[in-house]
Structure 1
Amino acid sequence: MIAFFLSAYYNSILVYSWSYFFRSFESPLPWTVAHNASDILNEGYFNNQVLHRTASVEILGGFQPGLFCLYIFSIVLCTLAIVKGVKVSGKITLVTASLPYLLLAVLLVRGLFLEGAGDALQYLLTPQLSKLLRPGIWKDACVQVFFQLSVGTGVPIMFSSFRERRAPIGRFTWLFCAGVGLCGLLSVVIVYIYMFHFARLHGLQFEEVVVSGPSLAFVVFSQALALLPWPNLWSGLFYFTLILLGIDSEFGFMETVAASVEDAIPDFKKWADPIAVRKVMGAILCCCSVLFSFGNGYHMVMLVDSFTCNLPIPLICLAEAYLIGHRLDYMALEAKQQQLTGAGSDRLLLREITGLRVTYALLVILAIGLFEQLAYAWTLNFVLNLLGWSITLSPVLLTLLFLKRGGSTLSIDELDIRNIYTKPRPLELEMY
């Protein structure tokens, strides 16, 4: 369910990227033409000309046929990619694995020579210990890491099932985490440098120009790209890369949902076409795109994101840590992994998971997320609360329903779900 909700609203990144990509061929770049002297980052272009954004989520606004057509186009493109299989995603990954680092390196080198770059690095690297006392900081950081690594969404498990049995999954996992961390670190440095530069140019404090969320890619980076030589070329290349990254991510979300449906229904492939599941999901996502095609579409994206990420993902991670650390015979699990893949698990990670520190930390993150979610829900009307809490509770309720079915089986080595709770017994886990 989480992968489905993520795929439903993550298409917005693709839609906004398509809009910026198509207009990258105009000269001058439309987001560099300021219509308001006080709007130093020209957020007005993103809010008014791309989103036609209303003041709040409760103000519907007009229907935006241009955005809706881009949503349909993006979903159809992703559906075609997923129908072709994981090989298409692999080819896309060949580009997305290297091109973002090239673009970030170009922006970083250019940014280091801008006025205010030194102050930006000093501000970024100087710790403000008082902010560490704010619980929300820790929750936001934790959820961001979960989202970047797709932890708790099922996507890494789905992709690992495509690997050969004796593939070095452990090594790939460490490389993946290191690559994601490096990309995030470079992005943070670049964002701080350019926002400090724009603040310095207009005689403002850094806090007065701070933006967050999708605005970072479509406001800060668009203005940063405009400072490069041949800005049209770099802007087109940057947003085309975002499109490829978005298709790659959508492939993971959609394939995870489709694979879960197939695994949950015994003998699914005997009476149904697996391709049909992916096509039906594409049709459902096309219907959901209407939700994000009005003037309040951006607010709806943030609402779905909040109710999807703040509670369900940490809750699933907590359940995983608890089951592996306290209900499974992890030594038998490691022995089976050694037998099947030729490599054992990381003992340090196993010791951390089986200890109580991870469980307690996730409990604290979950409690903070619940408090913030209740505070956010208090500002919404009944209909939006009903929608939001349905998104939050559906993964939890489905998990409880699945566990209540005593005869349910996992599609890995025909393991009966009841055997998970018999810790002394060895776990027969078949790796794809």
Structure 2
Amino acid sequence: MNEPADPARTSRIRESFTGRNAFILVAIGSAVGLGNIWRFPYVTYENGGGAFLIPYLVALLTAGIPILLFDYAIGYKFRGSPPMAFKRLHPSAEAIGWLQVGICFLIAIYYAAIIAWAAMYTWFSLTQAWGDDAEGFFFETFLQYDGGGAEGSGISVDFVAQVGWPLIVVWAVLLLALGSGVRRGITKMSTIGIPLLFLMFLILVAYSLTLDGATEGLNALFTPDWAALTSGTVWIQAYGQIFFTLSVGFGIMITYASYLKRKSNATGSGLVVGFTNSSFELLGAIGVFSALGFLAVASGTAVDEVASSGLGLAFVAFPTIVSEAPASTLVGVLFFGGLTMAGLTSQISIMEVVISAVKDKTGWARVTTVAIVGGATAVISIVLIGGASGVTLLDVVDAFSNNIGIVGAAFLSLVLVGWVYRRLGTLTAALNVYGSVRIGRTWKVMVGVVLPVVLAVLLVVDIRDKITEGYGGFDDWVVTTFGWGALGLVLVMAIVLSLLPWRGVSAMHLEDPDRDEAGKERV
């Protein structure tokens, strides 16, 4: 007769991916997000065109890949969500993990709304519901944006039905996938979503290249301005783009790497994810600027007059392109369907950081954690971003959580792990055991010296600008409350949560041949 399973031991067994390919697809799904499609093309265009690809490649090799492997090493070695992994790395490091969790929580609140908008625009593409005024339709008719937070106006959370209900559906899909677990939910979503996303964009790019004016758009994008290489700002932009696009520095890759099986090729997987993400960015840029070239020719204007980034590109410029293009319905469905799919796979990874951390800390079952924590996040998201002032809150929270929160958390983790806890040697050894690409002194210099300097520059410049210039023309109270205030709250909660006891299983217990039964690292 088989003996009953030991509940304590069972609770310590961490979920895992079915294999390396599943991990790579999920990691790519996290890295390939909205920023690849609407940020990279414009950043390239604004910072030297084809010449920008040189600092971009340098940044990928000296910053992107090294910090990606840094996150992989922490998750892979210490087998836990960010708080648990950092706690196992050093008993006093848990707060770093909770800081990353808090940043993910802030991002998850607004990111889901953009997915809902993209899903609705996939539907709108069938009838071109935006008519002749794409900008007016998006802000006034669809979002019913009240300009809250600007010029003395207040913030309204009045429910906007055509925004709120799709947002509810998006959250239902997300929570269902998260509740189903790593293999049945997260992996299946990426296994289906990522190949479909690449197929959709391949078709879109192939079609865009046939449009009149495509050449003008590509010339505008790739014509090199070699003088730009002498500008420090251009290099900062390159490092900033690489950093934001790889989903590094805020716990996602730590969490996913913790689900890798013991004998996994983490370094080889990191290279695949890094270069695949950059390849998709380049693919997206070709498709977007081919379409923008078409729009410029069709409207009799220059490419620089129609080129934009972010919400302006996705929900104003591209609907206008769809209205003008042959086979317009196909173009709209491919573009907005691709945005929806890219957003969903990224949002799942963002929320998994939060779910995994709370699950580890409390010992709750996955379904319970998703219901309580995911449900609460969904309610906050629907109330704040599903209202008439949702765009204001989205804009402010995004600017502070991305540009200050992620960069600050990554800077702290690199400095503390490398210089205070001095664990880079441990991480190097963990990656090299089964890694197909061995890392050593060069990698340590990148993550211990180069990256902290780069991130410090990004952080100081952004904080200086926000303090001296404010942000977005919004009232100071809005920026203080939803920008600085949100970051301050996350920092306080990170410290508080790190002081609370772990329930169920000790955070320091690790089923690792390098540790003894007490969880202490063997010499």
TM > 0.5: yes
Kindly provide the amino acid, as one letter, of the partner of residue 209 in structure 1: V
The answer on 1:13 being equivalent to 2:114 is: yes
- Structure 1 residue 176 displacement after superposition: 0.9
Return closer, same or farther for 1:257/1:44 CA change in 2, 3 Å cut-off. Answer: same
> 2:429 aligns to what?
335
Q: Residue 140 of structure 2 aligns with which residue?
A: 48
Long gaps (5+) in structure 1: 36-41, 416-426
Deviation of residue 137 (structure 1)? 5.2
Please, which moves more after superposition, 152-161 or 118-127?
A: 118-127
Distance 2:307 2:330 in 1: 26
Residue 346 (structure 1) shift: 2.0
Q: Alpha-carbon deviation of 1:428?
A: 4.0
Cα deviation code 1:170-222 (max 9, x no counterpart): 11111111111111112222222222221222222223223221332333444
Q: TM-score, normalised by structure 1?
A: 0.82
Structure 1 residue 309 corresponds to structure 2 residue 408: no
In the alignment, what sits opposite 1:373? 466
Contact 1:337 1:343 (C-alpha < 8 Å) held by counterparts:
no
**Which amino acid is the alignment partner of residue 129 of structure 2?**
P
What are the within-5 Å matches in structure 2 for residues 319-334 of structure 1? 319-327=412-420, 328-334=422-428
Q: Deviations over 1:277-308 (max 9, x none)?
A: 21112322232121112222122211110110
Look up the match of 1:422. Answer: none
Moved more, 282-291 or 224-233: 224-233
The residue aligned with 2:355 is 258
Partner of residue 64 from structure 1, selected from 144, 155, 160: 160
Is contact 1:43–1:219 with CA below 8 Å preserved after alignment?
A: yes
SS in 2 for 1:356: helix
**In percent, how many aligned pairs have the same letter?**
23
TM-score (norm 2): 0.69
- Structure 1 CA distance for aligned equivalents of residues 521 and 200 of structure 2: 45
Corresponding letter in the other structure for 2:488: L
Cα 1:237/1:428, change in 2 over 3 Å: farther
- In the TM superposition, 1:11-410 aligns within 5 A as 11-26=112-127, 29-31=128-130, 33-35=131-133, 42-55=134-147, 57-58=149-150, 59=153, 60=155, 63-86=159-182, 87-128=184-225, 138-225=235-322, 230-263=327-360, 265=361, 268-269=362-363, 272-288=364-380, 289-327=382-420, 328-339=422-433, 341=434, 345-347=438-440, 350-353=443-446, 355-374=448-467, 375-377=469-471, 379-399=474-494
State how far apart, in whole Å, the 1-side matches of 2:295 and 2:430 are: 56
How far does residue 98 in structure 1 lie from its aligned partner after superposition? 2.0
Rounded Cα–Cα distance in structure 1 between residues aligned with 2:129 and 2:435: 56
| 3-state SS, counterpart of residue 97 of structure 1 | helix
The answer to whether the 8 Å contact 2:181/2:366 transfers is no
Q: CA deviation at 1:121?
A: 2.2
In structure 2, how many angstroms separate the alpha carbons of the residues matched to 1:22 and 1:250? 21
Residue pair 1:2, 1:308 contacting (<8 A) in 2 also: yes
Q: For the residues of structure 1 that align with 2:490 and 2:511, how far apart are their CA atoms? A: 23
Worse overlay, 65-74 or 98-107: 98-107
Check whether the contact 1:325–1:353 (CA below 8 A) recurs between aligned residues: no
Residue 365 of structure 1 deviates from its aligned partner by 0.8
Report if aligned partners of 1:135, 1:368 keep a CA contact under 8 Å in 2: no
Rate the CA distance shift 1:397–1:134 in 2: closer, same or farther, 3 A: farther
1:25 to 1:196, Cα distance in 2 relative to 1, 3 A: closer
Closer/same/farther in 2, CA of residues 223 and 428 from structure 1, 3 Å limit: farther
> More displaced, 16-25 or 390-399?
390-399
In terms of mean alpha carbon deviation, does 225-234 or 193-202 score higher?
A: 225-234
TM-superposed CA distance for 1:24, in Å, is 3.6
Q: Deviations over 1:89-144 (max 9, x none)?
A: 21221232222222222232233233332232222223345666776655554444
- Write the letter of the residue equivalent to 2:379: C
Number of residue-to-residue matches in the alignment: 405
1:355-390 per-residue CA deviation (whole Å, 9 max, x = no partner) reads 522221211111111122222348423244122112
Distance 2:320 2:305 in 1: 16
Contact conserved, 1:110 with 1:228, CA < 8 A, in 2? no
Q: Distance in 1 between matches of 2:218 and 2:398?
A: 30
C-alpha separation in 2, matches of 1:234 and 1:191: 11
Separation in 1 of the partners of 2:441 and 2:215? 38
Is the Cα contact below 8 Å between 1:139 and 1:368 reproduced in 2? no
1:273 is matched by which residue type in structure 2?
Answer: A
Structure 1 residue 225 displacement after superposition: 4.7
1:134-171, CA deviations, whole angstroms, 9 ceiling, x for partnerless residues? 76655554444333211112111111122211121211
User: In 2, are the aligned partners of 1:155 and 1:252 still within 8 Å (CA)?
Assistant: yes
Asked if 2 retains the 8 angstrom alpha-carbon contact of 1:11 and 1:250, the reply is yes
Amino acid at match of 1:326: W
Amino acid at match of 1:83: G
Contact (CA 8 Å) 1:312, 1:396: kept in 2 or not? no
- 8 A Cα contact 1:19 1:50, kept in partner: no
CA distance in structure 2 between the partners assigned to 1:129 and 1:57 by the alignment: 41
| Equivalent position amino acid for 1:30 in 2 | A
Structure 1 residue matching 2:249: 3-state secondary structure: coil
C-alpha change, 1:140 and 1:113, in structure 2 (3 Å) is same
2: CA distance, partners of 1:130 / 1:342:
40
